[in-house]
Amino acid sequence: MAFLASDADGTVTLSLALNSEEGNQGTLVGYMHFQPLFRLFEEVIEMLCLTVLSRSALPQRHPSRIVGRAIVLMIFQILFASARAATFNVNSSADVPDVAPGDGQCETLVDSQVACTLRAAVQEANALPGADVILLQANTTYLLTRVGIEDASLFGSLDISDSVDIVGAGPASTIVDGNGAVTNDRVFLVSTCNNDGCNPDAIAVNISGIAIRHGRSAGSGGGLATALVVGDKPVVTMTNCLIEDNSSDSGGGGVYAGGPIALTRSVVIGNTAISGGGASFAANGVITDSTISGNTSAGNGGGITLVGYGSINRSTISGNHAHLEGGGIYSVTSADPAHHLYIVNSTVVGNGSDGAGGGLKNAAGGANLFNVTIAGNTANTDRSGSDGVGGGVANAANATLAFANSIIANNSALVSNSMFTLLNDCTGTIESLDYNIVRVATCTVVGDYSTDAVQFGPLGYNGGPTQTLPLLAGSGGIDAGNPAGCTDNLDAVLDIDQRGLPRPVGAACDLGAYEVQPDLIFENGFDG
C-alpha cells in the first residue's frame, strides 16, 4: 500500500507498506518527506500509487500487482536518492554502533533486541546525503561508553559530518553525557572533513533541547567542537541547550566553534579550558537569550574567548574566571566594523581575572556596547603580580571600545600582596557615545558620561530566560538614556530590555540591560 499526504507547507509524505504474503497486515517499509521542490512529482507519484491501489483487489502474487509494486518502489528509490531525508527515532540509551551503517536503517543489537541508538542514528544520518532528523527521548541520559579517539562516530565522540537536526525534549530531560573520564573525548564533533578531505559545501547542524555534559578533549571543544580545520564549513545552531561540566585542554571548554555558530536560549555553565572556559569562537559567534556562567579558563576568557567576531544579545555573562585576562569575555576581533564584537542588552557581572579586565578584555579590534551593564567584576583576583587594572573593562592600546546607554560601575581591582580593594571600572582608552555611566573612571573616557551612583538589586531571575541586575529605585541610570531612543548596533531602536520587557518606560530608556518597569502596585491596584 502507498499513502500520500501533503501538509501545510507543501511537504509531501509518501509512505509505503507492503502486504505480507499471508494477508492484509501491512508492513511499513519506508517513508519520506518531499520538500516543495518535489511537488512536480506529486501527480506522477499519486497516479502510480493509485495504480497500485486499484490492483489491491487482485490476488497477492498477481503479476501486474507485483509489477505495480515494483514501479512504485523504483520511483521511491529514485526520489529517495534525490532527497534522502530521514527521521531516526532513537529508542535506546545504550551506546552501540549501527550494525550496517549506510543502509538507511538505524539498527543496533542491544541485549539481542533491535534498537536505534544515538550513535547509530548519527552514523546513518552521516551516511545518507542531505539533512536528516534525529529525535531523542525524554527522561533519558545517553551515556557514551565506547573508548577510542576517531572521527567517524564509532568510538568516543559522536562525529557529525552531514546536515542534521538533533532534537531532545529539553536539557533537563534529554542528556548526552560524554563520560569524558572514561572516553577521554568530547561529546560532539561537527566536521565536514575527514581523511579523504573536506566537503566543499557547508552543512547545517541544529541541536536543540539537550544537555551536553562531561565531555573532555585534549583539543578544542570539550562539549562540542566545530570546524577544527581550515576548509571545514559547518554552520551550527544550539537552541535550548545546556552545556555543562565539560573540559578542554585547548580552546572552548564547553563549545569551540571554528565556523559560524548561534547559541540561543542556552546555558553554558561549569566548563573549563585553557582559553574560553565556556566557549571559544573563531568565526561568527552569535549568543542570544543565553547564560555563560561559572566557567574557568587557565588562560584568557573565563566565559568566552572570541577570536573571530560576533554578537551577544540579551544574555548574561556571570561568575566566570580567567587566570589571565578577560574574566567574562576576552575579545580579539578585527578593525573592520563588520567583524567587531557587538554586545546589546546584556549583563556582564561578577566575573574575575587574575590579570586585566575582570569583566571584558578587548585585546584587539573593536568592541561595541549598547545598553550593557558591566558591574561587580574584579581584576587581579589572585592579588599577585601587578596591581589590578580594568576591573570592569580593559581596552588594549590597539583596540577600540565604544559604548552607549550603558553602565560600567561597581567593579574592582585588587591590590597585590595586600588586603586593599579599589573601585576600578576601566583601563585604557574607551569611547563614550554619550548616555553612559562610568562610576569610577580609572581610564581615559573620550566623550560625555556620568559618574552617578548605581544601586543594583541581587542578580536573579526578574523575567525572561536569563538572570539580570535590577536597578533599584533612585539609582543612577534610570530614564538616563538617549531621549531619541536607545538603539542597537544596527541603529534599530531597542523596544525591549534584556528580559524582553518594554523599553523605554518613562521619558527615556534606562541605562544598561535592565529597564525598570511600572510598579505592579499601580498596575493591579493592590499589593500582597
Residues that bind Ca ion (CB under 5 A): 98, 100, 103, 105, 107, 125, 128, 132, 150, 156-157, 159, 162
* Of 98 and 425, CB closest to Ca ion: 98
Q: What is the closest distance, in whole angstroms, from the C-beta atom of residue 123 to Ca ion in the complex?
A: 7
Distance, in Å, from the CA atom of 378 to the CA atom of 424, rounded to the nearest integer, reads 8
Helix and strand numbers, DSSP H then E, in the chain: 5, 47
| Closest to 469 in 3D by CA, of 353, 341, 375 | 375
What b/e readout covers 254-293, taking b as 16+ CB neighbours within 10 angstroms?
bbbbbbbbbbbbbbbbbbbbbbbbbbbbbbbbbbbbbbbb
Q: For the purposes of burial, counting CB atoms within 10 Å of the CB of 115, is it exposed (0-12), middle (13-18) or buried (19 or more)?
A: middle
Angstrom CA distances, 512 to 201, 388, 427, 435, 515, stand at 41, 24, 20, 10, 8
Least distance in angstroms from the C-beta of 262 to Ca ion: 21
Looking at the Cβ atoms of 156 and 308, the one nearer to Ca ion is 156
Distance of closest approach, residue 99 Cβ to Ca ion, in angstroms:
6
**Whats the size of the chain, residue-wise?**
528
Q: Nearest distance from residue 211's CB to Ca ion, in Å?
A: 19
Closer CB to Ca ion, residue 160 or residue 360?
A: 160
Q: What are the contacts of 109-118 at 24+ separation with CB within 8 A?
A: 115/91, 116/88, 116/89, 116/90, 116/91, 116/92, 117/90, 117/92, 117/93, 117/142, 118/90, 118/93, 118/142, 118/158, 118/176
Which of residues 1 and 149 has its CB atom nearest to Ca ion in the complex? 149
Q: Which is nearer to Ca ion, 125 or 279 (CB)?
A: 125
Closest to Ca ion by CB, 193 vs 407, is 193
Dihedral sign computed on CA atoms, order 461, 465, 469, 470? negative
Q: Cell numbers 566543499 correspond to what residue? A: 200
- Nearer residue to Ca ion within complex by CB, 55 or 84: 84
Please name which of 74, 62, 71, 79 lies closest in space to residue 12, comparing C-alpha atoms.
79
Q: Which is nearer to Ca ion, 106 or 269 (CB)?
A: 106
Closer to Ca ion by CB, 150 or 479: give it.
150
Smallest separation (angstroms) from Ca ion to the CB of 121? 9
The angle formed by the CA atoms of residues 286, 292 and 294, to the nearest 5 degrees, is 160
Q: Name the residue among 302, 384, 284 with its Cα closest to residue 349.
A: 302
Q: SS3 of 256, please?
A: strand
In the complex, minimum distance from the CB of residue 149 to Ca ion, in angstroms, rounded to a whole number? 7
Closest CB 295 distance from Ca ion, rounded Å: 24
Query: C-beta of 131: minimal distance to Ca ion in Å?
Result: 6
Distances (CA, A) of 418 to 201, 380, 384, 448: 57, 11, 9, 34
Minimum Å gap between C-beta 73 and Ca ion is 19
Give whichever of 235 and 480 is closer to Ca ion, judged by the CB atom. Answer: 235
Query: From the CB of 193, what's the least distance to Ca ion, in Å?
Result: 14
